[in-house]
Structure 1
Amino acid sequence: MKTWVAALAVCLGLQGAAVPAAAQPGVLHDKAAIVAFDKALTRQYGDVVVGPAKATLHLGTRYYFVPADDAKAVIVKLWGNPPDAGEGVLGIVFEKDRTSYDNDWGAVVTYDRTGHVSDKDAASEDYDALVAEIRANEQAENPKRQKAGYPTEYFVGWAQAPTYDPARHALIWARNIRFSDSKTNVLNYDVRLLGRDGVLSLNMISGMPQLVEVRGAAQALAGAAQFARGAAYADYDPSVDKTAAYGLAGLVAAGAGVAVAKKLGLLAILLAFGKKFLILFLAAGAAITRYAKGFAGRLRGRAQGGSDAEDEPDTKE
């Protein structure tokens, strides 16, 4: 199954995710146009400098990087999100030999300059308590979602429990998410790399059948990122640098949605991450619905000369 792209809005909090691609102006539908668009994308291999994050991704030849302008075009013209949906996106990482419309996953790269996130409590973070908060939040939010016409959302469990590598200052976790109108559970992988003054984020959306593959890619990408001298975690200077008011559990809470962050008392996250997460609860359900019904499969159908209406959901591995 290669049907992840429309669900990418979950991790970005894109407010246009609920709008069908066909209803968005400027979205590509013609076979030749889609293929030509993809071929024209800039592809960077090897060592890729992500300037705003003061970091380098050592991708080798296994992956390629689509830089910011092209990545925003992919999000808007190919995936059918509104023009402002690509704000803050620094690029997208794809597997080699795969296209932007035919891929099992894509890692959207962003950098949140929210201050230095301390890992001093890494060994004592209580992620089980966070699970309880997520599920309590679902009980409060799902009736609102249902009333608004969105499918209800259920956190099935960790596809990978939050794991912190103190040597690389890398936090990785993955959620198994089920939506009420979807037969296929969604896999949301988060890779967060701590720097001197913020967090480099690589967000990956796929399906649970791709867990093994995406887990391997997440580990590889976490090890592929390196901050420049002066921007690394160890370069933090408390006398001059801003310090985030939350730790590792706060990052995971924010990834699960603002309502959870509020319950945990992590109000600083609201200011740090802004509308990206404020939009999450409205956008996520519809985006995942499009994912589970094979949006990317239909996208490939368009590239192969078919139409959205005619293509059946792609639910096979």
Structure 2
Amino acid sequence: MKSLLPLALCLVIASAFASEADSTQVLADSLEATFNYQHGEIKFENGIGTLNVPEGFRYLDPKQSEYVIHDLWGNPGGSGTLGMILPEEIGITEGAWAFIITYEEMGYVKDDDADDIDYDDLLEELQKETVEGNKEREKEGYEPITLVGWAAKPYYDKSKNVLHWAKEIKFGEAEESTLNYNVRILGRKGVLVLNAVASMNELPEVEKNIDPVLTSFSYGEGNKYSDFNPDVDEVAAWTIGGLVAGKVLAKVGILALLLKNIKLVGLAIVGAFAGIRKWFKKKVDPPAVRDIGGGTPEPPADSTPA
């Protein structure tokens, strides 16, 4: 993937006399051609489970996903994913949105508090914590974050052992909010995490695809939520409310792991293409050569968790 950088620079120079729209389209097409998308059955490591890529989607493996998340979209991390799936008709650059797949081996998450949570109160608490967290983020050179509210209120489907929620987040002075749609599929020893990152106006499109994506994944033999054995299995330190709030994750050391992928929420993906163009402009300006990427990495409120 690193070979893309000199290639991309050559493309910019070669298209110096073309219009900006033409040159960036050449770049987008060239980048797309380097990716090896997969369809069909994908078996995840360690017998976690199997993904049958849903119709209308395509899959990128962990290595390529790390490149997209870190190098192309400008995230501070990206490692540790199981890959990503994105709509077939949408490229990885302009207008992109995707489901990022990870797995947290946190133990068996009890769901007996699911009906007792006041999510309005929880939202107010998270908003206050976000404001407090901005002090530290700004010290580190990051833009402040505004947790606007629930884009979709948390909902736990007890029949499928699946938790959904979505946040509307605004970064700095950005005119457009970012959507972070979270799905957690509970298993015997942990939770499969699906984070859909998109612009707010893509919420209907994301919601329309939740069910096909959910049904495309199945836990491996013995790893289903119903396979839990209280005599031998570890129970997680948090429940449904903890997954949404994320506080317990920080206490048990998961936060550092999540921070590696934190920009997944922070990047407004619809701005990714503009970031690529910015990268090219800086590459042809020697004094700015160190400033590679599509903007300032921004850790969002979803370090709690994304």
- Place the TM-score, normalised by the shorter chain, in its bin: 0.7 to 0.9
**What's the CA shift for 1:126?**
2.5
Give the partner amino acid of 1:221: V
**2:254 equivalent to 1:273:** yes
| Alpha-carbon distance between aligned partners in 2 of 1:139 and 1:74, rounded to the nearest angstrom | 29
Contact 2:187 / 2:225 at 8 angstroms: preserved in 1? yes
Which residue, out of 105, 115, 139, partners 2:107?
115
Which residue, out of 80, 85, 88, partners 1:93?
85
Secondary structure at the counterpart of residue 109 of structure 1? strand
The answer for the alignment partner of 1:57 in structure 2 is 51
1:21-32 alignment to 2 at 5 Å?
Answer: 28=5, 29-30=8-9, 31=11
After superposition, the Cα gap between the structure-2 partners of 1:269 and 1:241, relative to the gap in structure 1 and judged at 3 Å, is farther
Which residue, out of 41, 44, 47, partners 1:47?
41
Give the partner amino acid of 1:161: K
CA shift digits 1:45-97 (9 cap, x unpaired) = 12322234621223233111111122222223423446xx2321110111113
Which residue, out of 132, 136, 143, partners 2:128?
136
After superposition, the Cα gap between the structure-2 partners of 1:274 and 1:26, relative to the gap in structure 1 and judged at 3 Å, is farther
1:295-314 alignment to 2 at 5 Å?
Answer: 295-299=272-276, 301=277, 307=281
1:178-217 alignment to 2 at 5 Å?
Answer: 178-217=170-209
Contact 1:164 / 1:172 at 8 angstroms: preserved in 2? yes
The answer for the alignment partner of 2:65 in structure 1 is 71
Contact 2:95 / 2:270 at 8 angstroms: preserved in 1? no
How high is the TM-score relative to the length of structure 2?
A: 0.75
After superposition, the Cα gap between the structure-2 partners of 1:293 and 1:201, relative to the gap in structure 1 and judged at 3 Å, is closer
Give the partner amino acid of 2:227: D
Structure 2: gaps (5+ residues):
12-25, 285-294, 296-306
Secondary structure at the counterpart of residue 86 of structure 1? coil
After superposition, the Cα gap between the structure-2 partners of 1:284 and 1:93, relative to the gap in structure 1 and judged at 3 Å, is closer
**What's the CA shift for 1:276?**
3.0
Secondary structure at the counterpart of residue 268 of structure 2? helix
Contact 2:56 / 2:87 at 8 angstroms: preserved in 1? yes
**What's the CA shift for 1:121?**
1.8
**What's the CA shift for 1:146?**
4.0
Contact 1:126 / 1:249 at 8 angstroms: preserved in 2? no
1:230-249 alignment to 2 at 5 Å?
Answer: 230-249=222-241
- The 4+ residue runs of structure 1 with deviation greater than 6 A are none
Identity %: 29
**2:165 equivalent to 1:173:** yes
CA shift digits 1:87-119 (9 cap, x unpaired) = 211101111133222343111111010111111
Q: CA RMSD in A?
A: 3.2
After superposition, the Cα gap between the structure-2 partners of 1:39 and 1:279, relative to the gap in structure 1 and judged at 3 Å, is closer
Contact 1:119 / 1:248 at 8 angstroms: preserved in 2? yes
Structure 1: gaps (5+ residues):
1-24, 255-260
**What's the CA shift for 1:120?**
1.7
Give the partner amino acid of 2:272: F
Secondary structure at the counterpart of residue 294 of structure 1? helix
Secondary structure at the counterpart of residue 257 of structure 2? helix
Give the partner amino acid of 1:78: L
The answer for the alignment partner of 2:215 in structure 1 is 223
| Alpha-carbon distance between aligned partners in 2 of 1:103 and 1:93, rounded to the nearest angstrom | 15
Give the partner amino acid of 2:106: T
| Alpha-carbon distance between aligned partners in 1 of 2:243 and 2:119, rounded to the nearest angstrom | 11
The answer for the alignment partner of 1:294 in structure 2 is 271
After superposition, the Cα gap between the structure-2 partners of 1:205 and 1:233, relative to the gap in structure 1 and judged at 3 Å, is same
Give the partner amino acid of 1:39: A
Contact 2:94 / 2:270 at 8 angstroms: preserved in 1? no
**What's the CA shift for 1:203?**
1.0
